[in-house]
Every structure is written in structure tokens, then in C-alpha cells.
Structure 1
Amino acid sequence: MNADNLAQGESSSGGGRDNDVLWMPTVAQRKETALWQFAEENGFDPEDYDTLHRWSISQKGAFWSAVWDFCGVVGEPGDAAFQKDEAAWMTGARFFPDAHLNLAENLLRSDGADTSVIAIDEAGGRKDVLRKELISRVARVAAGLREAGVRMGDRVAGVQPNNVDALVALLATLSLGAVWTSCSPDFGKTAIVDRIGQVAPKVLFAAARYRYGGKDHDVGERIAEVVGEIPSITTLVLSGEGDIPGVAFVRQDVFGGDGPPEFTRVPFDHPAYILYTSGTTGIPKAIVHRTGGVLMQHLKEHVLHGDVRRGDRLIWYTNTAWMMYHWTVSALAARATIVLYDGAPILKADNGLDCTPLWNLADSADVTHLGVSPKYLATLAAEGYLPRVRHKLSALRSLLVCGAPTLPHQFDWVYRSIKRDMSFSSISGGTEILGSFLIGSPIHPVRRGQLTVPALGHAVSVLDDRGAAVVGERGALVCTEPFPSMPLTFWGEGGDERYRDTYFSARAEIWTHGDVAELTYTGGGYVHGRADNTLKPGGVRIGISEIYAVCESYPDFEDFLVFGALHDGDEEVVLCLKPAEGVTVTPDLVKTLRRDIRTQASPRHVPARVHVVSDVPYTVNGKRVESAARTTVAGETVKNLGSIANPDCLAEYAGLKRDASL
């Protein structure tokens, strides 16, 4: 049975029709995957994923040793792959306690003649970088960092667009055993200082100018202010064009000197990256990630779950601050070519929106793995854009999505509008683990709306209010066994305690992720959103993703936001609508919307208040900030406006009155 039949809802099991199955890899496709080969090499039936998964979480040392060997990790693994601590089963566990390795050395391995990077900008400019050229550039910048006094464990920061210069700075830092941290150049001064200022970087790589959305942006003065407020910065390295007023700097293209690459091997738990939480409820938490944890987690995800092969070409649309940037970079360790895109995924044109950039890129670069967001897919659908009609996409094998719950109708749209014969993986994890708890699989069917499988090495469970594991019911997403990519700590004073309070205070030595999820009898699952975005009108817990799903079916709305507000001792649902251009939101339209929410979700989901707004607040990382709207409407103060990309819009929310709602 071919993929076209499955895309129409035909079951591959011989049991008639299964409308949830949208795509199934053929037997030949499954047998070609690394996951199939990994299972066979370790004595498992590749068709029996459940047993393989149970082995991966119960025999942790054996599993992660097998991943190390199968993926050809460069380094010394030591004698033990897992060391448990009976008193602190998760927080005290250690993986490869005697290992030594270097993350950059693993990312830069392979033949020098391979193409390592394809960098494309918004204007269509393209640069292909061979592995040997990338290694040479990394070695030169690493020499400059050594001359600047950077040593193992020192922090180096970047505020650069998604281009080769940023990648080189990251890899050069890692090659020394130093610690990399980054922000995107579109972040405001406060957002940058609140993040990298915490970790006292010695060197800052920055760009004075960047281009986005057809406009040139000069952030030289902002970078100067950042340097002025972070006294630990002793060297500023500038990439691209433009200057930084009043601050001494050196150009990245002349920074450093010639010499062979050197890689300082560090312990498995040595810090590699520092990433940051959204920071909407206070100063962003600085999450310290382990060198070995990053490599093992990402190799497992790329090679086994993503079936990323040598010579594949992978891109995730991201900026340099988001975890998916670091995830993308790690595909180099799978000997793939990474595609970097510097610009907006959708541009404004005279006749509307230009949705072509990522799809033109996919064709020109022969992209095999493309990662985007649910919101991006929703925008394409609203514009009536059909990639399958306008583009060849002949190399594309896998479309991936994360950042928010992907709604069932979006799965239908993907197979109808993009490509039938490909895997579509909705994945979910977080910055905290630099990876995924629920993830795709190249040997499983894609089921409508579902995240395909629990990731190997993660003992994922959903617990109800009793603390009992449930299937087919919503509850708290947890992980009950240790895994290598758990954070090392939170940076700063009391970091260990803050880390434990965040993820282990609700359940001792059980990771509580903060998501509301649901596992299914077919082995997949759903993530319904963050637990702090769960509403309880009338004391009944509901998710907001169902409301978003209905709103997305209306071309009348450009955007929307749902949150809760207290009234008469109960929580009521508030829906804010940003109309599409030229649309007037009338009482009749709202009445129809409420009816559809009632029938497609439930009576509990029907908003008590509907307001028309001019904008929706987003974090600097591109996620809706329901909590900021909820706090503002309640008359309270949002603690960290620097984490919000468009904080001025909250003034409108402060004026929303219940008696003026639709």
C-alpha cells in the first residue's frame, strides 16, 4: 500500500479504514532507517518499539553506550555509562562519569570535502561552506579567543543573526572547552542584558546590522549599551557591516590567526551551553547544559528518531537564541549539511504576503528535513498557499514542527497541501532538556494530531490528580527516570536549589515538565499546552488549544489569545481577537464563533468575554504570552517586560473592561 492511499485515510493493518493514519512508511523505507538498524544491532525486533523503549529506560547504561557506539562518538567513554544515586535517583544520577570529549570535535568530524553549511539570506544570497573551510575558520577564531584570555569554562556570548559567522563563533568557543550563550540581534537591550549579563561573558560576538522583513536594522547603539552594562566583557568581536559607536572592537574576519584546529576534551558534565527561559515571570533562568548530554541527546534525536543521514540537508527556521538553533547545529555530528537562513520566513509584498522564502530554499538546497512552527503553517493555510503546487520538494523526506501544540486539522493540511509521501513529526520537549520527550519516528505511522512516540531514553508518563499514570486522559507530563540532557544546574547563586524547585518540587525525584499531556493507546500522545495556561471555569480543567483550533479555521482573524480572568469567585474564559486586515468583528461573527467553539470543543470552552485587540503579546522567542495578558487584565504588573517582543500592546489589555466585551 503506498503513501498516497494512506494520506487518504487507508489503514496499513488490513483492518479496513483508519482515519487517524495519514502516512505510513513502506517496509523498504523502514528497513533503510538507522532506528531499524540500531534495534537489530542490539538484538531487538525493530517492529517492537515498546520493548526497545523499555530497554532504553531500564538499562540506561547499556542503551546510552549503544548510542555512543552506533553514532561513532569521538572521545573516551570511560568504564561506566551510568552511575546511580539511590538517595537522589534523578538529580544525583550521572552518565559517563569518566568520559572526556569535545562537542565541537564531534560536530566538525567527517571528510573536509563535504559541504557542512549552506547559508542563505533573505535577499537570496547563498554561501556553501566545505567542512575543511569551516574547520579552518573555527581554528582561526579559537586562536583569537585564546589570545583574548578565554580558557576552559569561561563564557563567550553572541548577539548575531543566523549566519556562518555566528556558527563559527559558537564552534570556536566549544573547541576550547568554553561555554557558549547567545541572544538574537532583534532582542532589546534589557532582554540581552537580563540574559547574558547573568553569566559574565568575557568575549561578545555581535553584529551591528541585520536585515529582516525587507528592512535593514542598525543595532550598533544597542550593542554599545550592552557592552557598557556588562563589565565582564573585555573583547568585542564584530561581524558583518556597521560600527559600534564609542566602543573598541575587532572585526571577526581578522580576529585570531592561522593554525591547526585544537579541541580541548572535557568531562561529560562540563558546561557547553547556557540557554534561557522566557522570563515572563521574572529574570530569565539561565539553564546550564552538559557537553555530553547535548551531544548524546541530539545524536539520538537526529540519527535514530529523525533518520538524519550523512549528506542530508536539514534546516529549522529559528534565530540564534532558541533551543532549535543548537539542535540544528548538532546535525553536523550526524554528518549532515545544515542550512542556515537569515531573514523572515514570510515577506510583505505589494499584493499581500510572499510565502515563498523557505520553500524556494527547500528546492534550491535540496532540503531533506525542514522544521517550522504551527503558527507558520497556520499562516500558509490562511493565505491559501500550496507548496506542493508551487515547488518540487523532491528531496524533502521529513517535515517537523514544534513550539506550540499542532492541531489535528493542521496535519490534514500538511498532507493535502505540502507533500503526501513524507514523515510529519510534531515534537515536544523544551529548552530545559534541549530536546524532546515526545517525538517522531521513521518507522511509525503518522496519526492525525498525535506526537508519534515517547523518545528513546525518556521514561515519559502522564499522571492524574492522584499521581497515577493514565492513558487516554489528560494529566501532568513527567519523566520518571534520569536522562543525560537534564540540566547541570541554573547559573548563579542557589542555582542547584532553584533547579530542583522548578522541576522536582511537585514530585520528589520525578521530573515534572509543566505541560498538560495525554498518552494514547496507539503509543503516541498529545500535548495540550502549559499547565499554567490550563483554565478551570466552574472548577473543570480545560485546555486552550481547542479554542485556538477553532479560531484558526476563521480567515477573519489574524491572531488571537486566550486566558483566564476571575469573576465572582470563578475563572472565566477571555478571548482576544486581532482581526485580519479589512475585517470588522461583528456581534454576529462572535456569535458564530462561540457556537463553533461549543460544538467543536465543549460548552466549558465558550469564552465569557470576547475583546477585539490590535495586537497579541509575544515573547522575544516568538511564543504567545497568555500570562502577561492575564496579569495585565487583572490590574497587576508584568514583572519582566524585557522578555516581551511587543510590550507596548499590553497597554490596550489594561483597558479591557468586562462590561465592554462582545
Structure 2
Amino acid sequence: MNTQPLEKKSHILWEPTDKDIERSHLKAFAKTVNQPLFPYERLHRWSITNIGDFWSGVWDYADIIGEKGETIYVPADSMADAVFFPDAKLNFAENLLKGKDAQVAAYQADETGVTAQITFQELRKQVAKAQYGLQQLGVKKGDRVAGITTNNIEGLVALLAATSLGAVWTSCSPDFGAKGIIDRIGQVQPKILIANLKYQYKQKPFDISDKVHETVGQIGSIQHVITIAGELPDAITWHSFLENDVEIPQFERIGFREPLYILYTSGTTGLPKAIVHSVGGTLLQHVKEHQLHCDVHEEDVLFWYTNTAWMMYPWVVSGLASNASVLLYDGSPVLPDTPMHLWNIAEEIGVTHFGTSPKYLDSLMKAEVVLKDHYSLASLKSILSCGAPLVAEQYDWVYETIKEDLYLASISGGTEIIGCFVMGSPVHPVIRGEISCKALGMAMEVFDDRDAPVYGQKGDLVCTQAFPSMPLTFYGEDGDERYRNNYFAERPGIWTHGDFAEQTIDQSFVIYGRADTVLNPGGVRIGTAEIYSVVEQIEEVKDSIVFGLPCENDEEIVLCVVTDQLSKELAKHIRQQIRKKASPRHVPRRIYQVNDIPYTVNGKKVEGAAKTEAIGKEVKNKASISNPECLQEWTDIKEKECY
């Protein structure tokens, strides 16, 4: 069913068939809550107007195990004070471990290929053993259990065992430096640390024993250390930790608003914020997104390329609550001689939902990979993308080189909400360069400087109604105050997310980048994604970063490119393409050649760090940057040769 105006027909890259719509979760959900599916915009308005009815409907539709209680939603004068399911009791792990005995719960893969798989029955047994092990170490409800874990089955078991007891899980990736780990988990005073001592990346082995030893020495709250793939003095090995006869896990049901996860922001402007997420809010947000928006069905195989520090890791893990299988992958997405490595795995195990980033898709584009020439991808239903805006040309490339009958969805949300604000749906057509719709239950608008909603204009992405996965608090001193100052200070009572965006008249969305990296030459706000979308299509440019430098009470655009040789001719070509495809205002005043671009450990460009270094200020938390040494290239950049 097409709800788009006729003039947009030429930009439609995929449309669901009537059969697709009829068998979608979204169609079935609309029926269960006695609401028409179309127009979708009406269903969405119902979901943010009848907030209690909507989220109660999600609980019922997703077969959440627990006691829902009579009261669903208690509004308040402030979004941050609204309360969901005040009387509910549930256990997160119980809801993720309800799958059929013989069904594969998780596949494990690394740079060598698929290495293991575990059924729901086997996973329940492993969780029972780990649960008993944690109990013997004194873990109880509310305790923090920290992981420095790779994306593998042992890490999944540890997470589920901790949450089965009502404990709080928090994790870092082994590739973080010791300071990055301590800056994060040190804030939340964990009782137990579970650590993978060895991992492999780009076919190189790494041993982090010294890093773990330093972490334990710096965090006094850690009482016990459990090691995976290696041994440390005075630590418990994973094998001995599971050495008991327990086979059936017990689940402690706790309040909807009890803490489940502590996640961390990138921390490039200071100490990472430790964001506390609730049991019920996380579970409901994820089952809603998986089922209603991504159309994940029982026995589908859900994958997202992620490490254990990024919010997409718990997002994928929650796929188990929809009775789907998940693929856990640890390693580099692209190997030196095998750029299609992830697709070898996807084809072998029948991945249905493939989650990735624009950066990864761009790497395949530049390698001129044509996946449909190598794989049938018969099982593949959708490709999902986040981490940065997906540009229009990447939409084209996906349908031209991967698969024509495919639901492609760019999504936008964040660690702060452990979910999405705007995303796709199985009943919307895919429009080139656009995010299809507002997520159900999320009251999204784009506000201008008057705090008025606008269409066809760029502004700030905001949310005007409460939703269950709002953070409980920021962990630590003055946590409530810091939380409110971050998201509600700019517009009291309204969540200002920090994305620079545009809402079309059809209520689809285009994200132009983070508001704090928006360029402002001549007083006109420009999103960095508008420039990246052009530059990334230029064959000679391998990577790029753009930011604004102060200049005589104004700002000039600086573009830094990774290329074999920056010449006057290439710089002229870059400017011509930006002028033609964006506007004269987007054209950079200065273009520099650099050897590398700063990225967070989660793969996001750090424009702020490059700018901070360029204006001679100190980058406060280099531990959050995977390659901080490259920032030296931005020191005194105005003194260097530019074009």
C-alpha cells in the first residue's frame, strides 16, 4: 500500500507487497489494539495520544512474561517524571530465554568463520550454571557485574546470568585502553569483573591480561575476577566458574523501573556519562522495534555488527525475546583478502536481518563489491543501518548490488534511549535517502528556533511525550540533575536529542548530523552529513572529516581528506561537486590532506575532537578515541598547506 504522493514515485526503491503487509507484525498488532493500520500517521498519533493503551498493547502482543499490574502510565508535569508500569514485576533474562528447546538461540562467529552455536535449551543450562556461580560469589539484586567481553556466547551467558538475578550488567570492549575501561566501569563500582583475556582483530592476536590487571588494581569495588580465554593470578577461570550441577535457572522478578544496564556515551568531551536503563523500558522498547518496525519473526536470524560497548549489542541480544536467533560476531568486518567475510557468514547461517553502518557499506562500495554476483541471500529480508546518516547513493548501491527485494532501513536513536526515535517499517515504501517514519510511541518533531514544529526545514530533533526507555538517571553524584540538564534544559519538558534533522511533509526524516557539529558559516546551519554525502562519492577520497573553524566573528568550513595525493585539481573537483550537489554555502574554505580520521571505538567520526585540537585546546578524553595519535595532524592546522 503506497501512501506517498505521486511526485515521489521516482524515488521509491522498494515497496512491500500486499502479502508482506498482511503477514507483518505491524498489521497483526494494529488488529490486536483495534486500530486501523493505514494511514500509518493515524496509528502513530494514536500511539502517542493513548500512551498507556499503546504500551500495554506492546506488552500483550510480545507475550511479555511477568505481572503487568493495573496501572500502565502515570503522566507528570515533566517528561522525566512520568512513570510506566509502576506495579509491574518481570525478569529480563526470563523473557529472553523462553525460546523452543531445539531452536538455535545464538550463532558465534569470528574472523575464521562460524565457530559455534547454542540452542535455547543449552543456553538456559549455561545461564543456570553461571547464575549459580554468581550467587556463590555473593551477587544479588542491584549489584553491578562488569564485562570486558568479546561478542561471543560466553559474554551472552554472563549478561543473562547477571540479569537473571536482578543484577545490573555493564560492559566494555577488550580493545579499549585501560583508561577507557576504568573511566567507564570504574564509575559504577562493580562487584564482579568478567574478562576475555584474548581476542583477535584484523588477524592479529591480542592479550589484555596487563590491561585487566591494571583495571582491577584501580577499581577497589571489584571483589572477584572471572577470566575467559586465559588465566590471571587470584582469578576464577570460566570453566571452573561453570563447574556445577545446576541446569535450570531461577528468575528474580523485579520492578519495571529497576536498573538493568549501564551504558556509556562516547566521552569525547569529558568523562563518559554512565546512563542507567530500566529492565522494563529496555525490554518493551526493543520488542517494539524488533517486531513492529524491523518485522523480526520467530526463528529469524538477527545480526548487527557491533562490539560489546555499543548500544547495538544489547539491542541485538534482545532479539532473543522475539524468539529469534542472534548472530554474535567478534573481529574486523573486512579482512585484508576477504572484504565479503561477513556475507560468507550471513549466507552460511541464513541471516534475515543484517545490521551495519554507512561506513561499512561505503567500504564495500569503494571495493566495487557486487554481492548478488556471489550470494543468493535467499534468507535476507532487510538491511538495517545506523551510526551515521545513510546517504542517498548508498540506498541506490544496496538495491543495485545486493538484492532488489529487500527492506532497507536507516534508523536514528541513541545510547541515551537504548533504542530509536525514527526508523523504518515493513509497511512503508523505501524512499531514497529518507528514514521512513516516526517510531510508534515516540512523539517526534523537528523544531525551529521558535520551538515550533516545521516541515521541509532543518531544525532540532525533539521528542514531546514520555516513553518507557528514558534513562532512570546518570549513575553517580547529581545523576538526576545531570540527566535533566543534558536533555531537558534547552526546552523544559521536551527531550532535545541533539540531532540536526528535517521532517518531510510525508513525515519521513532526513538526519544531517549531530547538532553539536553543525556548521554555521554566515549564520546558516549546515549539517556535516550534507558534505559527507558528496565527498564520499568521490573515488579519490578514502575518508574525510569536516568541521568549522572560528574566523573573524564567523566560521569557515574546513574539510580534511584521506587521499593518495591532494592536488589543486582534486581540491577544485571536490569543491565543484559540493557546489553542484549541495550548495555554494557548503563549499569548504580550506581543504587539507591527512593520513587518518579520528573515530570513537564504536566507529563514529569525532569532528569535535578534530576541531578542538585545531583551535589549540585540549581534547579531554582521548581514551574514547580508537586512534588518538592521528589528532596530532590537526595541531596548528592553519599553519599547514591547504588547497
Both structures adopt the same fold (TM-score exceeding 0.5): yes
Name the aligned partner's letter for residue 26 of structure 2: L
- For 1:224-265, what per-residue CA distance to the aligned partner results, in whole angstroms no more than 9, with x for missing partners? 11111111111110112x333xx4111112204222211010
The alignment status of 1:258 with 2:245, answered yes or no, reads yes
For residues 139-218 of structure 1, the aligned pairs below 5 Å read 139-218=128-207
Tell me, yes or no, if the aligned pair for 1:517 and 1:526 is still in contact at 8 Å. Answer: yes
Give the drift of 1:661. 1.4
Give the drift of 1:431. 0.3
**Aligned equivalents of 1:394 and 1:319: distance in 2?**
27
- For 1:588-632, what per-residue CA distance to the aligned partner results, in whole angstroms no more than 9, with x for missing partners? 110111111111111111111111111111111111100001000
- Sort the Cα spacing of 1:394 and 1:500 in 2 relative to 1 into closer, same or farther, 3 A: same
Partner of residue 274, structure 1: 262
Give the drift of 1:558. 1.5
Which has the larger displacement, 56-65 or 109-118? 109-118
**Aligned equivalents of 1:306 and 1:173: distance in 2?**
28
**Aligned equivalents of 2:317 and 2:13: distance in 1?**
30
SS in 2 for 1:56: helix
- Sort the Cα spacing of 1:13 and 1:430 in 2 relative to 1 into closer, same or farther, 3 A: closer
Which has the larger displacement, 253-262 or 204-213? 253-262
**Aligned equivalents of 2:422 and 2:103: distance in 1?**
32
The alignment status of 1:52 with 2:36, answered yes or no, reads no
SS in 2 for 1:577: strand
**Aligned equivalents of 1:313 and 1:660: distance in 2?**
50
- Sort the Cα spacing of 1:235 and 1:13 in 2 relative to 1 into closer, same or farther, 3 A: closer
Match of 1:330 among 315, 318, 323: 318
Tell me, yes or no, if the aligned pair for 2:52 and 2:72 is still in contact at 8 Å. Answer: yes
**Aligned equivalents of 1:231 and 1:508: distance in 2?**
39
Match of 1:117 among 94, 106, 113: 106
Partner of residue 5, structure 1: none
The alignment status of 1:348 with 2:332, answered yes or no, reads no
- For 1:239-295, what per-residue CA distance to the aligned partner results, in whole angstroms no more than 9, with x for missing partners? 12x333xx4111112204222211010000000000000101100000000000000
Partner of residue 388, structure 1: 372
The alignment status of 1:33 with 2:24, answered yes or no, reads yes
The alignment status of 1:317 with 2:317, answered yes or no, reads no
Give the drift of 1:660. 2.4
Match of 1:83 among 74, 78, 95: 74
Tell me, yes or no, if the aligned pair for 1:139 and 1:258 is still in contact at 8 Å. Answer: no
Q: Given the two structures, how large is their TM-score scaled by the length of structure 2?
A: 0.98
Give the drift of 1:658. 4.9
Q: Given the two structures, how large is their TM-score scaled by the length of structure 1?
A: 0.95
Q: CA RMSD in A?
A: 1.3
For residues 347-366 of structure 1, the aligned pairs below 5 Å read 347-349=335-337, 354-366=338-350
Name the aligned partner's letter for residue 291 of structure 1: V
Tell me, yes or no, if the aligned pair for 1:12 and 1:24 is still in contact at 8 Å. Answer: no
**Aligned equivalents of 1:391 and 1:173: distance in 2?**
39
Match of 1:227 among 176, 191, 216: 216
Give the drift of 1:46. 1.6
Partner of residue 635, structure 1: 616
Match of 2:593 among 600, 603, 612: 612
**Aligned equivalents of 2:484 and 2:165: distance in 1?**
30
**Aligned equivalents of 1:642 and 1:128: distance in 2?**
34
- For 1:383-422, what per-residue CA distance to the aligned partner results, in whole angstroms no more than 9, with x for missing partners? 1001111111000001100000111111111111111001
SS in 1 for 2:280: helix
**Aligned equivalents of 1:120 and 1:592: distance in 2?**
42
Name the aligned partner's letter for residue 395 of structure 2: F
Give the drift of 1:578. 0.8
**Aligned equivalents of 2:578 and 2:33: distance in 1?**
49
Name the aligned partner's letter for residue 78 of structure 1: G
**Aligned equivalents of 1:112 and 1:174: distance in 2?**
21
- Sort the Cα spacing of 1:156 and 1:13 in 2 relative to 1 into closer, same or farther, 3 A: closer
- Sort the Cα spacing of 1:214 and 1:608 in 2 relative to 1 into closer, same or farther, 3 A: same
Give the drift of 1:655. 3.4
Partner of residue 293, structure 1: 281
Partner of residue 235, structure 2: 249
Partner of residue 530, structure 2: 546
In the alignment, structure 2 segments of 5+ residues that lack a partner are none
**Aligned equivalents of 1:281 and 1:613: distance in 2?**
22
SS in 2 for 1:119: strand
Give the drift of 1:13. 7.5
Could you list the structure 1 runs, at least 4 aligned residues long, displaced by more than 6 angstroms after superposition.
11-14
